[in-house]
Chains A and B, each alone.
Chain A
């Protein structure tokens, strides 16, 4: 079974918009560059327009392709002024990535908002920067319970996994469209017609299946008990201090270690021999040990592990 969870299993009916909307209905779609956020908003905008609503669909692209955060505001109703949704006024928040969903949560209406979030985690390179022993990933650690305590109706759906199982991970956004279809009052044929018109011809079958999966999943999730996200592993050992042993006679002043030490803690001294000048910055990553062509540097960790010996 997939790691699916409906964070807050709600028994009441979905908050669908009223066909005679007085105020604009606000849907915020968020994710990471390349995930297909814009496609989701185009489908929605097109549906709403076909229904006779005024629609504004606003996104800022440019940097989006390069893995940055992407968000698209879709507002529709009899009259829509602002193209953007104010904080706390989104009726639905669709997230194609877990941390992005959490980032935009303050935009959702607390009392009536619906949160649909893919559990897919795209960990940005920035989250994996620290080389300190035991350094945590700088990525969301909020639990599903915390989220469910905040919003009225929330679903964490493993859409990417579901799409992968269909043989096309790029259809994850359509799984989410299927999920979204349970919240909005457009008819099923309307949804299907619009979705198929926005996907490449060759992928219509897989996308139709993806849509069905997402739609049915929500129906089941409403009655299933909530489960949590998978836990993360902990470091095995972190309590050591690194110590460098430099054999001066073997150092030929090539400066490779000086240039490539990521913490910049090595320098050549007056005799042009490598020296550790900033021991407090050294993380014991062993790069210098691996890279020195003359084996002049050895890195000792005070509490060495058997694993290290095994690796040798």
Chain B
């Protein structure tokens, strides 16, 4: 029992253990504390670390797994919910496109055990193919989307999401962004609570979506939304913070700290959920101030909704619809709106541009694959992974790249449209398992004349080295059955299948030529592990015998980051040198050296 004075002086949050956590780590912690028993995901920046972190909690507490793709991951989470467990599914924004089919009907079904879907958007496109705003999906599915603004809230909102999910019989989306997922700040954490297990509910009218059932459920979903609006109007995650200004700002999620940074004393309505929106509260807030601004990253979802209530709001007029927000962007918006003075112009240093995009690693097995692809003169349908970097100079080995698994379907389309060049689809191992197999079957079935280069580097490399069904290990590092690619591909009906080692440049050239010459679907598997994950590979470095180098730049056409120009010249061109710290000794440069002057380095004499 608390006496009144105790309650008044007690800190808002019980003093618990404080930990520096990233947004993703905070979400994982919250899921574990909330008693989640099943978690599934397919990796994707910036969401990947959520599952990687969940896998650090005891195996007795929860099952955490990598799924082959986001749709399977969501289906696994739905299954766990059916069976009465709390479950979590995490993905990057574009992952929801893949999972959307299950997602859009899940909303009709609702939950048995609480189900939280964490979606991480990537405003600014740090590492993605687009910057779609996932909140539209929540609106489309008529489910709540919670938007935490820092790691502490990521933790609190995720825990709350399970309660909302079970109370309102709805899946709940927690939306993060790259900035939140990857920013570390202190979080006061708690302990795991074991939620009593529920039993499977045999209720076909809710669990089996045939038309007759779905019609009724759609009505239930709409009623649920009304209840959620009422709930969110008074929920603790929604806060009306009165300040000293005549204007008011409505914001949510990661925009809130930017607003506070720029206007520490403004009147702010901070929405904990950006869908559904509490109408009455919005009306009251807007009526209390002279001018209302909505500050939201990407799409004007809140702004449009308020405008549709007949209220005058300002937003995207001043704050861009594309790109990531920052204090600078938010300040610039308020300057333009006439609420802040223009900052003094900085007499800034303008550095000489040094272009430094991410590149394939020194010794990357994809390098030689694309050397061969480029030399084949083919039209190349690319896909998503580290190997997409081969689009850049000097490899320039990719003509198209759409979405995960698109390469093979795109290649079929190009072939059927009569593209005159030979057509090669290039696809990574993880991407092939994610969405490439149906497309390969399609190619066989429709008898397309294409060659497929399966770049098997034994890992999901682009996202930081995650296991997948082809690596022989699970998320927790336990042994697992391993996909036999040749057998799988033959079972799809492909007659021409061959495996090569991409470090054998001549062999790769030759095999690719044969694959292209074959009439029909030919699959060439390049089998060589990534040099970065799961094991960092470092062999003895190579060395350029500088006095012999004729500066022909043949090796520089590999784009290996270990190769750079030395300070010596030959016929007006830089002779080449190798950075021994970066070189892993793959020998590719020696294989393309026209005068054979690249050799294993003689170890330096150490004193």
A residues with a Cβ closer than 8 A to B are: 32-33, 45-46, 49, 54-69, 80-84, 86-88, 99-100, 102-103, 105-106, 110, 123-129, 131, 133-135, 137-142, 150, 169, 232-233, 235-238, 240, 259-260, 262, 283-287, 290-291, 301, 305, 307-308, 311
* Residues of chain B with a CB closer than 8 A to A62's CB: 45-46, 126-127, 178, 463-464
- The listed residue (A57, A63, A106, A238) touching B126 by CB distance below 8 A is A63
CA distance A125 to B564 in the complex (A): 6
Give the distance to chain A from B579, nearest Cβ to Cβ, in Å: 8
B20, CB-defined interface residue at 8 Å: yes
CA distance A301 to B570 in the complex (A): 12
Q: B569–A262 contact, CB under 8 A?
A: no
- The listed residue (B359, B463, B552, B594) touching A125 by CB distance below 8 A is B359
CA distance A240 to B571 in the complex (A): 9
Query: What are some 24 contacts across the A-B interface (CB < 8 A)?
Result: A32-B356, A49-B18, A55-B184, A55-B185, A56-B185, A57-B183, A57-B184, A58-B184, A61-B45, A62-B178, A65-B532, A66-B358, A67-B361, A82-B260, A86-B327, A87-B346, A100-B356, A102-B349, A125-B564, A126-B393, A127-B355, A127-B565, A141-B352, A286-B571
* Residues of chain A with a CB closer than 8 A to B386's CB: 66
- The listed residue (B351, B552, B594) touching A102 by CB distance below 8 A is B351
* Residues of chain B with a CB closer than 8 A to A83's CB: 150, 179, 183, 185, 257
Give the distance to chain B from A291, nearest Cβ to Cβ, in Å: 6
Main secondary structure on A side of the interface with B = loop
- The listed residue (B18, B257, B347, B581) touching A82 by CB distance below 8 A is B257
Closest to A74 in B: B184
* Residues of chain A with a CB closer than 8 A to B350's CB: 106
* Residues of chain A with a CB closer than 8 A to B357's CB: 68, 126
Q: B354–A81 contact, CB under 8 A?
A: no
Give the distance to chain B from A206, nearest Cβ to Cβ, in Å: 15
Contact A81-B183, Cβ < 8 Å, known A65-B532, A123-B564, A126-B393:
no
Q: A126–B355 contact, CB under 8 A?
A: yes
A-facing residues in B359-392 (Cβ within 8 Å) = 359-361, 375, 377, 386, 389
Contact A105-B351, Cβ < 8 Å, known A131-B553, A287-B552, A301-B571:
yes
* Residues of chain B with a CB closer than 8 A to A82's CB: 257-258, 260-261, 326-327
Q: B581–A169 contact, CB under 8 A?
A: yes
B186, CB-defined interface residue at 8 Å: yes
* Residues of chain A with a CB closer than 8 A to B360's CB: 66
* Residues of chain A with a CB closer than 8 A to B557's CB: 262
- The listed residue (A110, A138, A232) touching B567 by CB distance below 8 A is A232
Q: A125–B556 contact, CB under 8 A?
A: yes
* Residues of chain A with a CB closer than 8 A to B288's CB: none
Q: B394–A262 contact, CB under 8 A?
A: yes
Beyond A58-B182, A235-B572, A240-B571: 13 further Cβ-contacts under 8 Å? A32-B356, A45-B184, A56-B183, A61-B182, A62-B464, A82-B258, A86-B326, A123-B564, A124-B355, A142-B351, A169-B581, A262-B557, A311-B550
A-facing residues in B149-186 (Cβ within 8 Å) = 150, 178-179, 182-186
Q: A287–B554 contact, CB under 8 A?
A: yes
- The listed residue (A45, A63, A123, A305) touching B565 by CB distance below 8 A is A123
Q: A233–B348 contact, CB under 8 A?
A: no
Give the distance to chain B from A172, nearest Cβ to Cβ, in Å: 11
CA distance A110 to B146 in the complex (A): 40
* Residues of chain B with a CB closer than 8 A to A286's CB: 550, 552, 571, 594
Q: B571–A54 contact, CB under 8 A?
A: no
CA distance A84 to B359 in the complex (A): 26
B residues with a Cβ closer than 8 A to A are: 18, 20, 45-46, 126-127, 150, 178-179, 182-186, 257-258, 260-261, 264, 326-328, 331, 346-361, 375, 377, 386, 389, 393-394, 463-464, 532, 548, 550-554, 556-557, 559-561, 563-565, 567-574, 581, 594-595
Q: A137–B361 contact, CB under 8 A?
A: no
- The listed residue (A105, A233, A284) touching B568 by CB distance below 8 A is A233
CA distance A65 to B462 in the complex (A): 9
CA distance A55 to B186 in the complex (A): 7
Contact A88-B346, Cβ < 8 Å, known A81-B261, A82-B326, A82-B327:
yes
Q: B185–A54 contact, CB under 8 A?
A: yes
Give the distance to chain B from A161, nearest Cβ to Cβ, in Å: 12
Give the distance to chain B from A134, nearest Cβ to Cβ, in Å: 5
Give the distance to chain B from A278, nearest Cβ to Cβ, in Å: 17
Q: B185–A57 contact, CB under 8 A?
A: yes
* Residues of chain B with a CB closer than 8 A to A106's CB: 346, 348-351
Main secondary structure on B side of the interface with A = loop
- The listed residue (A65, A81, A123, A285) touching B464 by CB distance below 8 A is A65
CA distance A140 to B564 in the complex (A): 15
Closest to B376 in A: A259
Closest to B128 in A: A62
* Residues of chain A with a CB closer than 8 A to B348's CB: 87-88, 106
Give the distance to chain B from A290, nearest Cβ to Cβ, in Å: 4
Give the distance to chain A from B178, nearest Cβ to Cβ, in Å: 6
Most A CB within 10 A of own CB, among B386, B563, B567, B569: B569
Q: A103–B351 contact, CB under 8 A?
A: yes
Most A CB within 10 A of own CB, among B179, B327, B355, B358: B358
Q: A128–B565 contact, CB under 8 A?
A: yes
Q: A125–B394 contact, CB under 8 A?
A: yes
Q: A127–B394 contact, CB under 8 A?
A: no
Contact A284-B571, Cβ < 8 Å, known A56-B184, A127-B354:
yes
Closest to A46 in B: B20
Give the distance to chain B from A165, nearest Cβ to Cβ, in Å: 11
CA distance A53 to B351 in the complex (A): 33
Most B CB within 10 A of own CB, among A102, A237, A260, A283: A260
Q: B361–A66 contact, CB under 8 A?
A: yes
* Residues of chain B with a CB closer than 8 A to A301's CB: 571
CA distance A63 to B126 in the complex (A): 8
Give the distance to chain B from A282, nearest Cβ to Cβ, in Å: 13
Q: A236–B186 contact, CB under 8 A?
A: no
Q: B359–A290 contact, CB under 8 A?
A: no
* Residues of chain B with a CB closer than 8 A to A87's CB: 328, 346, 348
Q: B394–A305 contact, CB under 8 A?
A: no
CA distance A290 to B594 in the complex (A): 6
* Residues of chain A with a CB closer than 8 A to B594's CB: 286-287, 290-291
